[in-house]
């Protein structure tokens, strides 16, 4: 860089550029610290590999019933979690289709759409466009919880007998080796007993009219936030840190909805009669990602990372942005999602409960 002499000092010709670069250094450091897709899948697999897979009954987008427990008794099972908006998922789809077509009788291949920001219509159109033929299930949150979904794509290989053998992110040699090993595994009766017990754990779901119990969540930076009756109204803003940037070109309307909802929360952040909590999905997100999001967009409301997906599941949130309004007594009185969440009148309209998507029964 050329310089201009000022007295006895040598100063940069573009001091403004230096200032900008210095300001960007923290964001660059955070991005470098953010886990890769393979690392996120490995983290998800640490508590899964070697354990019994849940014996759930699934329904495909065509209404076909799939009993995973019965499949485990006779063959290996390959589940692939994916989303229509996910670039590496699209890149790996030829591999998944080929695996399904060449699987044989000792391997069941099932594509699991994560159900996050995808509708039934989205999934059916994606299948038509790519010419997919394998069974496809649109997750309602049960599989997300059961298989610790942290990234898309996420591969789960279950050995014959029902024990989880492998969790990964890339269609590579280790995945192929896991598929071969899974087919030759001996039956494991104890795995079936343990997975049946795990599948029996009841779910909690909150909807309009329900009272939210006193829950305390940890926020970014080490603070806490109390849900439930707090003496003032509370808005839970469900979000994804990557929505505005990652989806800007592939799903521009969705990215615009996320931006509008963030701006909506910021415009009301100082309202003394309204508390805000941003709840970030743990899918493709880490504390470092959420910190970067907060700094990039100068977010001032408290933020928490729902790493396990518990809050998203309990409040039945499958789309971002979604706003859930809780009154001063802890009762859910309103819920708005999508483009409506960014409207200035979003939290003034009468609460009208609507289904977020047309999931097949």
For 228-270, the pLDDT digits (tens) are: 877 899 999 999 999 999 999 999 999 999 999 999 999 998 8
What's the pTM? Answer: 0.85
DSSP β-bridge partners for residue 242: none
CA contacts within 13 A on the Cβ side of 259: 12
Q: Which are the contacts of 276, defined by CB distance < 8 A and separation ≥ 6?
A: 234, 235, 237, 265, 268, 269, 301, 302
In degrees, rounded to 5, the angle at the alpha carbon of residue 143 between the alpha carbons of residues 253 and 54 is: 175
pLDDT at residue 343, as a whole number: 86
For 165-195, the pLDDT digits (tens) are: 999 999 999 999 999 999 988 866 565 555 5
For 310-354, the pLDDT digits (tens) are: 999 999 999 999 999 999 999 999 999 999 998 887 776 444 444
Q: Which are the contacts of 205, defined by CB distance < 8 A and separation ≥ 6?
A: 313, 314, 315, 316
Q: Is 332 helix (H, G, I), strand (E, B) or coil?
A: strand
In the chain, what are the domains?
37-199 (3.40.30.10), 216-342 (3.40.30.10)
């Amino acid at each position: 860089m050329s310089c201009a002499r000022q007295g006895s000092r040598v100063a940069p010709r573009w001091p403004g550029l230096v200032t900008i670069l210095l300001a960007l250094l923290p964001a660059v450091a955070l991005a470098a610290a953010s886990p890769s897709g393979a690392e996120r899948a490995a983290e998800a697999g640490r508590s899964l590999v070697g354990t019994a897979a849940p014996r759930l009954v699934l329904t495909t987008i065509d209404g076909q019933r799939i009993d995973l427990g019965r499949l485990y008794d006779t063959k290996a099972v390959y589940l692939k979690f994916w989303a229509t908006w996910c670039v590496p998922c699209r890149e790996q789809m030829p591999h998944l289709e080929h695996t399904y077509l060449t699987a044989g009788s000792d391997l069941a291949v099932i594509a699991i759409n994560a159900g996050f920001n995808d509708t039934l219509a989205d999934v059916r159109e994606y299948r038509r466009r790519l010419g997919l033929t394998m069974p496809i299930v649109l997750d309602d949150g049960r599989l997300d919880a059961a298989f610790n979904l942290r990234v898309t794509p996420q591969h789960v290989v279950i050995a014959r007998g029902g024990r989880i053998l492998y969790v990964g992110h890339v269609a590579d040699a280790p995945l192929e080796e896991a598929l071969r090993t899974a087919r030759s595994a001996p039956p494991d009766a104890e795995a079936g007993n343990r997975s049946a017990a795990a599948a029996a754990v009841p779910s909690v779901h909150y909807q309009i009219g329900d009272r939210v119990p006193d829950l305390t969540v940890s926020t970014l930076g080490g603070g806490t936030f109390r849900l439930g009756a707090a003496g003032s109204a509370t808005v839970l803003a469900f979000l994804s840190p990557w929505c505005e940037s990652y989806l800007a070109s592939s799903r521009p309307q969705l990215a615009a909805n996320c931006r509008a909802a963030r701006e909506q929360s910021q415009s009301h952040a100082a309202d003394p009669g309204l508390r805000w909590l941003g709840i970030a999905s743990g899918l493709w997100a880490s504390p470092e990602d959420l910190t970067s999001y907060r700094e990039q967009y100068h977010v001032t409301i408290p933020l928490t990372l729902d790493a396990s997906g518990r809050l998203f599941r309990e409040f039945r949130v499958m789309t971002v942005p979604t706003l859930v309004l809780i009154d001063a007594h802890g009762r859910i009185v309103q819920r708005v999602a999508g483009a409506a969440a960014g409207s200035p009148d979003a939290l003034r309209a009468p609460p009208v409960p609507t289904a977020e998507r047309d999931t097949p029964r």
